[in-house]
Structure 1
Amino acid sequence: MDPGGYINEGGQLKSSNGQKYIINNPPRGRYCSNAAIVTLIGLIVVLLATSIGLLVLVLHLERLCPASPAPTGNELPSSGNDDGAIQYTSSFNGVTRAPSNPKLNTFQRRRQHETGSGEAEQDEDYIDDSAQIVPDPVPDEAEEDAKDASDQISRVDDWLPHKYILIIEPNVARTVNNGTVTIEIERNRRSTTYGPNGASPLPRVVLDIKDIRILSTTVYSTDTSDQLQYDAYYGDQNTSFVINLKGGPRDRLHQLANVTLVLNFESKLSDTLQGFYRGFYTDPDAPDGRNWFASTQFSPIDARRAFPCFDSPDKKATFAISVVRPAEKHMTLSNMDRSGQYEERPGFIRDVFEVTPRMSTYLVAFVTSDLELAQPADPTFKPAVNIWTRPDVRHHTSYVHRLTMRILPFLEEYFGLPYHLRKIDMVAVPDFGFRAMENWGLITFRESALLVPEDNNRSSSAKHTETVASVVAHELVHQWFGNLVTPRWWNDLWLKEGFATYLSYVCLNFVEKRWRPFEMFVQKELQDAFEKDADRNSHQISFPVTTDADIRRIFDPISYSKGAAIVRMMDNFLGTRAFKAGIGEYLRRFQFTNAEQDDLWDLLTVHGHRAGTLPAELDVKRIMETWTLQPGFPVLTVERNGTELRISQQRYMLPTRTASDDTRWYVPFTVVTQGRDDIKPIPVHWLPFENASMTLTIHAAADEYVYVNDERAGYFRVNYDYAMWKQLTNNFSKLPPLTRAQLIDDAFNLARAEFIQYDIPITLILLVVQNPYDMVSWAAMARSLTYITNMISREPAYESYLAVMRAVLRPTFDDIGFEDQSTDGHLEMMHRERIVGLACLFGIDKCSLQAQTLYRRWMSDYRDNQIPPNLKEIIYCTSVRDGGVPEWNFAFKRYQETDNPSEKELILNALGCSVKPWLLTKYLNMTIDPHSGILKQDGVRAFQAVATNYAGNDIALNFLYENIDKIHAYYGDGFSTLSKMIDSVTLMMSQLQHKERFDRFARKAHRLGLATVEKSIRLAKEQIMNNIYWRSNSYYQFERFLQQLIRDMHINLY
């Protein structure tokens, strides 16, 4: 029936009474009889009753037999055949098809057996749209209950892998991998997985898979070589492959100790930089101008995308890896040295590699490509260090090669353990999601994180060299912390990432001491940790990881930077000798196995007591669990009354001090007085967890200053009473560099949280600018001003703010100058970049003019770039911002043509500096266009450049809202791409209209089921509410102080 109600009887159209009608003149009368209506209703009732009956029957059968999914055309038959193989006839479409009940995972199936319930837990997660300025805290339990049940991890421990034999062949053209994996497994007698009604454990094997199709399976006893019968099926959500052994006496099955699995499979060669993936780089000699490669990124849980495995850090095993490649591809690398090479078939080579030590699946790696050996191993140095790159950039590897051969011996001595493999291959992968990955023996890097140009025309900036050195050191530390000893589960990720981050600075303090690495640590890692840990929704360092989304989002500044900060704090209160002895024994005792934080605490306690640096009544576990098992950090408030100090603690929490809770810590702190003896060590005092405050007697005259937290070794902020602040500001130039930096940073952040008013941080600004060469203080001030700048860049007070900043900056800018000096060292170049960056940011005319002059000179001859390497980022950004379309187009052309990875990143940042809306919109659209020339690895950088531009912030949010589904599909969920975009887009949002627009985005993300970003959305909402609070309260106070400064300094706004 069409919408007009006409009936087609198969011939000429008539009305229901048989009357012919004229087109466009509707017939009159009834169009169907009463009998027809009754018949139709009867049919509907019969169909409805039949449907209900079938539904009840299906639910009843599924309740009785939950482990055997109903046939869907994708189920695995029982192994009734003699050889135990599973045969398939369907074609592989790149993904494993959905099982019968996608709402239940393996864990929930098991619970059905136990409870007799066929229902999955309802998804209770929702987006909170409340507009409270200070939202109520969300208990951890509520957050856990709100998690999507379909994402819950099932940790089945019935069997443990002993050895993998993997043969894999990537097909770049078809985007698939063909492979065979043989896994020798042994029964885990300590497993806590039980069958129905508490029965003894069933001989079930659960393998992790993702986008994998199992072609055939053979199972046999390793001890007797007898083939075993089994049932097999895909687990729900297709994230597991379950093999239930059967056929034979039940008791005999339960006596099985060792089993071998042989699985033929097809997996997906992805385009999302996850698992085993493909990529390409521009090569004019390649047939289509693209030279394709295949590389791996298995951390944290993507080995299961490449081959069936037990993809958990505690399931360590050895790996014998073979990779089949086309003969025209020049090289294949893996974790170990190649032991053989054979012709697989005409035109194809099989590279066979030695067996690895016991290690976790996330550390397995292989690369097949036409990359070249840029830096061959020095035959006099062990282990062999090889660096592989594209041919065009092979001359950018000398610095890292030298650096690696200095760091490795240092770490061997520091840990008291040798590096355990015979080689380290370091590969600059042309398209790579992370900055680097510590795969044992085969470290993979983003090109910009490994390559350092050293020639005259394209030398790197000091900042880039420093970044590369930090990344390389971090990955080398992982060869011990992470590879040799691995955290048992992801909740203790900080055990490898926190240690690797901190000890990378220890390495740099050895190889590049002139850089003052621990000042770098305070400026970067400590501040990154403080920023993320000040939120109500921050998480503890070690928290229950129960979903895939948890695993991916735990790779954040809390695990890395806060982890590093508390490791540094331990190093300081235990003393370096006890600290080194403790971690050395930890590595020796747990090498090739797994450990938890309690294992580390026990050993550090022993060595701390032995050295006498840890009080006898304390142990490290008791102290450090207050830092690892609860979120946040304290602010110590110090009040002085003559020779007595009253020190109290409370949690620092934004947006205001009244938002704090009753969290407490064991706080190690030091007190320094003006007249102290510099020779004697500074004693460590303890503010107990049980007490919110304590009183301490000091030996200092009333007119002598006192400060707390020498060298900023403790992970906390410090506030003082007003008289103490005044003493410290009056003696500012006499204080050690890190103490000056601490005062600046703490003052700005204490004012932000309303512990103090903004007169103190503004006073410190005026003190800093009196000394143009106080590098540490300038660095602290520059970072502290970032939040203020973001908050008022769209407010009326911005004009006054710019006027004040120009007035106080101009003398230093004139003194430091635009040009590098021949006598400049690393720190001087970094300082010049900082000063020039501030001058151009705040619109000092001379800075903008010089930047544009140099940029236009480059535009006149792109082959001759005379811009100083340390100022490129500033000059590019300033010129694109103050220029027009020609400047933007020129920059993008250079991005496409340069083969210098660090140069590409500078240009990507600059392209987002434009204030032209249409250019910014065009730029964002290019980040999800595979033909735009922007690599996937660079998409987040491009987005962040626009989102943190006051002219692009609204555009970025609109782009995110309109394209969230495309972004998720294009980038996948492996690198928190969407989360990083969300974090950056909310930094400048400070009005209720911003909150309303972001809430709209959040609801859309929730409707799309993007569980991996819901934590980021909660944090982003808190960020917006904190900003709104600041704008509603502190903004006006800050504006008054600016106006007072303008009057006092006689600044002319016009």
Structure 2
Amino acid sequence: MLTPCASIIIVLFAALGWSQEAGAVETVETATTTPSPHLLSTRSLRLPNDTYPLSYQLDISTNIHLGDWRFSGNTTIDIEIRRSTNEIVLHAKNLSDIQITLRLLDPQMPEALGELVDDITHTYDPHTTFLIVHPLVNYQAFEAGQRYRLHISYTGLMGTRPKGLYWMAYEEPLNNQTVYVAATQSEPTYARLIFPCYDEPAFKSNYSIRLTHSSSLMAVSNMPVLEVLNRGELTTTTFQTTPPMSTYLVAFVISNFEHISETYRGVTQSIYSSPTSKDKGRLALKNAVLTVAALEDYFGVKYSLPKLDHVALKKNQGAAMENWGLITFRDDSLLSLDVTDKHKRLKNKLMQNHEISHQWFGNLVSPEWWSYVWINEGFATYFSYVITDLLHPEDRVMDIFIRDEAEHAYSYSSFFDVRPMTYYVETEPDIMHVFDIISYKRAACVIKMFHHAFHQKTFVQGISRYLKKFQYSVVSEQDLFDAIQESVLEDVQLQQQSWAHMVRDIMLSWTHSEWLPIVSVIRNYENDTITLRQRSIHSKSEHWWIPLNFASAQSPSFEHTHAEYFMPPVMEHTLSLEELQLQLGGRDWLIVNKQQTGFYHVLYDTDNLQAIARQLQQNHSLIHAMNRAALFQDLAPLIERNELESVDVLFELFKYLKFEDDLTPWSQVANTIEFLDCNLYGTTAHSLFKQFVRRLVAPTFLRLFNKDDTGEATMDILARSDILHMACRVDMPECLDYTHRLAHEYIFKNNNFESDYPDYYAMHDIILCMGVRHLSDEEFGRLIDLLNVTDRNSAYYDDMIYSLRCTQSHQHMRHYLNLLLGENSTYTLLNEREAMMYLSYVFKSNMAARSVIWHFIDHNYKLLARSTFFVQLFNDITEFVPERQKHHFATLRQNIDMYLQLEHLSPKQPLISIDSRRVGKKMRNSEQFLEKFERQIHNWLLKELSPNGSENTYAASLSVANGSNRPASLLSAASKMVRSALRVKLQF
């Protein structure tokens, strides 16, 4: 997992079109018989359903302890012929020396050695990775109802990347030796790299696994050990046979690891890690025992294996993999549950509980094809939060869900290719790509919505029914919907609803839609009706069955979150208050989507928003904190697209915030405040706006940052960073003084804040950024002098380079740019490509830097053009050219073009055209916003901010305060921020 700051940078670069270059792919040739053209013509990438595996016996032998990456394998598969055919088709990839024998089994005596079939051969199709067993002469050799035993011997080669069977090296400090460890990653299509198999999730089978390895090592697999046979230097470990499971869950690890274990309710759980890390897994073990028991109780379905191992590996595909009975983790994810940083500790606990949830969702019941990955990942994501909340309510993890899952799901269309949750894929790359934000986060939000809409107890009963009915089997989404349907019809309160028989249609409208609905709630105050309108967030012709519920001034109950009404999939629908069973007076407020459990935006008419604003100003606690937050999240699309009817009502909603002591709404408000701050930058209304925001945020800032204790819940820690960023961004003196002092102590006094105040983990970047925002010339000079004598590979050095991007001084920014990219720079701070990417990031994140950067490019384009990435940077930032500056841009662009031609330079991409629609694209929306709202905002702020309440618009002195009793907070290095963040490659 990425650090928070690194994640932000990578997402920004991805959104801005900066992509990482693909790494080299390891390949091993597959030695097989020459393909027969008549067998390989236009094959589907899907396995035919003519044959089916009944059981596997898998033998793997390795000498990894000698540094030998080759392995040999023997796979014996009992196969049933379900439809007469002339071939047996299965998968194999990068396997060599394949030898095949086939015997016909007697159905009456399946264990007897059957008749040898001696007229067969095999063909390999590299496009489909099919290993095809067929007769020498083409005829229908395999009759329906027959059973065969297929034996395949082969060799393979372990790779260094977590695909198939791979290896990693560990240095043992006690004896100064290198120990090699082998592990598997089979999901989604990597089992075929380990052994020939039917490598699709629908082909479930039993597996009997046997591993031969060095006697100095041990082996674990999906099931407990059945037998260990020592034969001198080699040992053969045999495991119990698994229940029916998909190939992508086959797993084993060969290592010198040690373990700690605990048995509860008949399930033995163990944490395996390198000997030096053995004791670091105790909290993870405790959490695993509690979570398995809690999930058993919650769904009424026992964990189905006798053991569950958790193995900490140096390398893993992502943070963890949910193999049945043998979850593998990247070691820093599993062994850090005891770290002092609360945010990281809780995130790792949620990650572990996600993988444990998979033991039911994906392992016990599996999707019949990768189209339904969301059934695995969405349920594991959502219920990892639900079960963690049940076990640790003090951590308020459902608040974390809103921030870490729902916010991404609401905004996914901004960064990722949009597709429905249920989405057909076939190629291996496409299968990998469905393990994305839609399958994890969007699906989790949809599942949460129906968990509430159908009554929580009823929904869970439906899921329990689903798990019991389809255990050890595979499902489509309709199987899930039908199980929920049965439970809905058993619910006395729901069975009389008009939609009660339509669960399939309701849920299909969500799993087969691409975007997100916006529900407009328009009250007619004269005839007591409400018109409901729905549209896609991107105006696509999509409609949903939308669960609605209502809270009002006369019935302010926010606890009952089930659906009170399902809006049908039509564009507009009008109902009377009586039909909705609502009592509303003309000035009463109405809230839809209680606690924001529904996955959609809600927009209200202006009069209703005014009524909500009045309630918030009178007594905001009457409206649930989640809905107070939702008001701003739901308005965000309108604000960003200049579709808001009246900006006055938005500012009336803001006014109550000076009384807001719950941090949940502040996280949503922060985004809107930042948007307005950027748009108003450089206008006459900007200083008034900052003064207004200071008034709002001051009480909360002083409450949070004027105390010594750091015992907040994780959500509080995250929201504190939002408050800090907001307060300093609007030049609140107390905030600037606070961050400046802490940054001063970190930079000039070398304080080790991280070890003393680890709860500031999530705030490193913001404190440093805001702390250097207004450095004096003397301080800036001292900092530059320090850089010149600091180890350039240190995290401290990276922190300084990264934090200086935030300076508001034009003079300091010019010096900074010269340091990074100027005439005397040799790309020693950042390499050429990183420097151009970083300059783009500075431009977009610091409004004060934009004019300086344009000026710098104008004076240094001949120097900058030496980089093949310069034109990409230039094209990127031209989207921010204001209309009034387009003539200057045209001149600069012409000069650059002439220089590129004169010097015969070849950039990575062509220079943008002067009349391209990209030029000024990002500024047009801002300019339209100002044209529409600037005067309105200015007038509202003038009226609101009376002379008696005015503040200095400039911050108080930034000198370090003496004698303060404030804690010297943590500002550790941002984990080698710049280099690691810019070089990391995103992986699923």
| Match for residue 277 of structure 1 among 166, 171, 174 | 166
| Percent identity between the two aligned chains | 22
Indicate yes or no: 2:387 matched with 1:507.
Answer: yes
| Match for residue 1030 of structure 1 among 909, 925, 930 | 925
Indicate yes or no: 2:300 matched with 1:407.
Answer: no
- The aligned counterpart of 2:624 is 736
Aligned 1:881-920 pairs, distance under 5 A: 882=772, 915=805
Q: For 2:223, what is the secondary structure of its paired residue?
A: coil
Alpha-carbon distance in structure 2 between the residues aligned to 1:419 and 1:785: 47
Conserved 8 A contact 1:574-1:608: yes
Conserved 8 A contact 1:839-1:847: no
For structure 2, list consecutive stretches of 5 or more residues without a partner in the other structure. 1-25, 107-113, 773-782, 806-815, 822-826, 857-863, 894-915, 955-988
Alpha-carbon distance in structure 1 between the residues aligned to 2:803 and 2:156: 41
Alpha-carbon distance in structure 1 between the residues aligned to 2:840 and 2:226: 45
Partner deviation per Cα, 1:6-39 (whole Å, 9 max, x = no partner): xxxxxxxxxxxxxxxxxxxxxxxxxxxxxxxxxx
Higher mean Cα deviation, 826-835 or 298-307? 826-835
Alpha-carbon distance in structure 2 between the residues aligned to 1:717 and 1:688: 16
Partner deviation per Cα, 1:960-986 (whole Å, 9 max, x = no partner): x979xxxxxxxxxxxxxxxxxx9xx99
Is the alpha carbon distance of 1:679 and 1:537 closer, same or farther for their aligned partners in structure 2, counting shifts above 3 Å?
closer
Indicate yes or no: 2:666 matched with 1:778.
Answer: yes
Deviation at 1:274, TM superposition (A): 2.2
Is the alpha carbon distance of 1:390 and 1:694 closer, same or farther for their aligned partners in structure 2, counting shifts above 3 Å?
farther
Q: For 1:851, what is the secondary structure of its paired residue?
A: helix
Supply the AA of the counterpart residue of 2:317. G
Deviation at 1:438, TM superposition (A): 0.9
Higher mean Cα deviation, 748-757 or 400-409? 748-757
Conserved 8 A contact 1:164-1:182: yes
Alpha-carbon distance in structure 1 between the residues aligned to 2:760 and 2:877: 25
Is the alpha carbon distance of 1:858 and 1:364 closer, same or farther for their aligned partners in structure 2, counting shifts above 3 Å?
farther
Deviation at 1:378, TM superposition (A): 2.4
Indicate yes or no: 2:249 matched with 1:358.
Answer: no
Indicate yes or no: 2:153 matched with 1:264.
Answer: yes
Partner deviation per Cα, 1:316-349 (whole Å, 9 max, x = no partner): 11122223333344x32211112222345x5333
- The aligned counterpart of 1:242 is 132
- The aligned counterpart of 1:313 is 201
- The aligned counterpart of 2:48 is 156
Cα RMSD between the aligned structures? 4.6
Partner deviation per Cα, 1:682-730 (whole Å, 9 max, x = no partner): 7611211245322231311112111111121211111111111111122
Partner deviation per Cα, 1:724-779 (whole Å, 9 max, x = no partner): 11111221213111110110111122322444158268527733640362211112
Alpha-carbon distance in structure 2 between the residues aligned to 1:790 and 1:156: 57
Alpha-carbon distance in structure 2 between the residues aligned to 1:857 and 1:270: 46
Deviation at 1:889, TM superposition (A): 10
Which TM-score applies when normalising by structure 1?
A: 0.69
- The aligned counterpart of 1:621 is 504
Q: For 2:262, what is the secondary structure of its paired residue?
A: coil
Is the alpha carbon distance of 1:944 and 1:472 closer, same or farther for their aligned partners in structure 2, counting shifts above 3 Å?
farther
Is the alpha carbon distance of 1:230 and 1:1037 closer, same or farther for their aligned partners in structure 2, counting shifts above 3 Å?
farther
Partner deviation per Cα, 1:923-982 (whole Å, 9 max, x = no partner): 876999xxxxxxxxxxx9x99999996699999xx99x979xxxxxxxxxxxxxxxxxx9
Supply the AA of the counterpart residue of 2:105. T
Supply the AA of the counterpart residue of 1:412. E
Q: For 1:493, what is the secondary structure of its paired residue?
A: helix
Higher mean Cα deviation, 436-445 or 224-233? 224-233
Higher mean Cα deviation, 847-856 or 714-723? 847-856
Conserved 8 A contact 1:772-1:816: no
Supply the AA of the counterpart residue of 2:454. L
Deviation at 1:265, TM superposition (A): 2.3
| Match for residue 687 of structure 1 among 567, 572, 577 | 567
- The aligned counterpart of 1:293 is 181
Alpha-carbon distance in structure 2 between the residues aligned to 1:837 and 1:616: 49
Deviation at 1:525, TM superposition (A): 2.2
Alpha-carbon distance in structure 2 between the residues aligned to 1:216 and 1:491: 34
Conserved 8 A contact 1:298-1:364: yes
- The aligned counterpart of 2:554 is 675
Q: For 1:473, what is the secondary structure of its paired residue?
A: helix
Conserved 8 A contact 1:167-1:322: yes
Conserved 8 A contact 2:54-2:205: yes
Aligned 1:757-906 pairs, distance under 5 A: 759=647, 763=651, 766-767=654-655, 769-771=657-659, 773-784=661-672, 808-817=696-705, 820-821=708-709, 824-839=712-727, 844-856=735-747, 859=750, 865-875=754-764, 878-879=767-768, 882=772
Q: For 2:462, what is the secondary structure of its paired residue?
A: helix
Supply the AA of the counterpart residue of 1:851. L
Partner deviation per Cα, 1:816-840 (whole Å, 9 max, x = no partner): 1166517645554444344335456
Conserved 8 A contact 1:852-1:875: no
Is the alpha carbon distance of 1:548 and 1:787 closer, same or farther for their aligned partners in structure 2, counting shifts above 3 Å?
farther
Is the alpha carbon distance of 1:540 and 1:337 closer, same or farther for their aligned partners in structure 2, counting shifts above 3 Å?
same
Deviation at 1:638, TM superposition (A): 0.9
Conserved 8 A contact 1:432-1:446: yes
Deviation at 1:417, TM superposition (A): 1.3
Is the alpha carbon distance of 1:272 and 1:175 closer, same or farther for their aligned partners in structure 2, counting shifts above 3 Å?
farther
Aligned 1:399-798 pairs, distance under 5 A: 399-452=283-336, 454=338, 459-461=340-342, 463-533=343-413, 538-612=418-492, 613-614=494-495, 615-617=497-499, 618-642=501-525, 644-654=528-538, 660-676=539-555, 678=557, 684-690=564-570, 692-697=572-577, 698-732=582-616, 733=620, 734-756=622-644, 759=647, 763=651, 766-767=654-655, 769-771=657-659, 773-784=661-672
Deviation at 1:530, TM superposition (A): 1.4
Q: For 1:340, what is the secondary structure of its paired residue?
A: strand
Is the alpha carbon distance of 1:823 and 1:273 closer, same or farther for their aligned partners in structure 2, counting shifts above 3 Å?
closer
Partner deviation per Cα, 1:862-889 (whole Å, 9 max, x = no partner): 6x85441121342356448946696799
- The aligned counterpart of 2:119 is 229
Deviation at 1:206, TM superposition (A): 2.4
Alpha-carbon distance in structure 2 between the residues aligned to 1:854 and 1:727: 48
Deviation at 1:575, TM superposition (A): 1.1
Is the alpha carbon distance of 1:257 and 1:676 closer, same or farther for their aligned partners in structure 2, counting shifts above 3 Å?
same
Is the alpha carbon distance of 1:402 and 1:678 closer, same or farther for their aligned partners in structure 2, counting shifts above 3 Å?
same
Deviation at 1:845, TM superposition (A): 2.3
Q: For 2:168, what is the secondary structure of its paired residue?
A: strand
Is the alpha carbon distance of 1:599 and 1:887 closer, same or farther for their aligned partners in structure 2, counting shifts above 3 Å?
farther
Supply the AA of the counterpart residue of 1:752. E
Q: For 1:262, what is the secondary structure of its paired residue?
A: strand
Supply the AA of the counterpart residue of 1:1033. Q
- The aligned counterpart of 1:216 is 99
Conserved 8 A contact 2:648-2:937: no
Which TM-score applies when normalising by structure 2?
A: 0.74
Supply the AA of the counterpart residue of 1:95. V
Aligned 1:937-1016 pairs, distance under 5 A: none
For structure 1, list consecutive stretches of 5 or more residues without a partner in the other structure. 1-92, 112-151, 191-200, 655-659, 897-906, 929-939, 964-981, 998-1020
Deviation at 1:310, TM superposition (A): 1.4
Is the alpha carbon distance of 1:256 and 1:387 closer, same or farther for their aligned partners in structure 2, counting shifts above 3 Å?
same
Conserved 8 A contact 2:739-2:767: yes
- The aligned counterpart of 2:41 is 109
Partner deviation per Cα, 1:364-392 (whole Å, 9 max, x = no partner): 1122233332xx22245531121123445
Deviation at 1:623, TM superposition (A): 0.9
Alpha-carbon distance in structure 2 between the residues aligned to 1:527 and 1:262: 51
Alpha-carbon distance in structure 2 between the residues aligned to 1:885 and 1:97: 58
Q: For 2:41, what is the secondary structure of its paired residue?
A: helix
Conserved 8 A contact 1:180-1:262: no
Partner deviation per Cα, 1:469-517 (whole Å, 9 max, x = no partner): 2212211111111100001111111111111122112202210112333
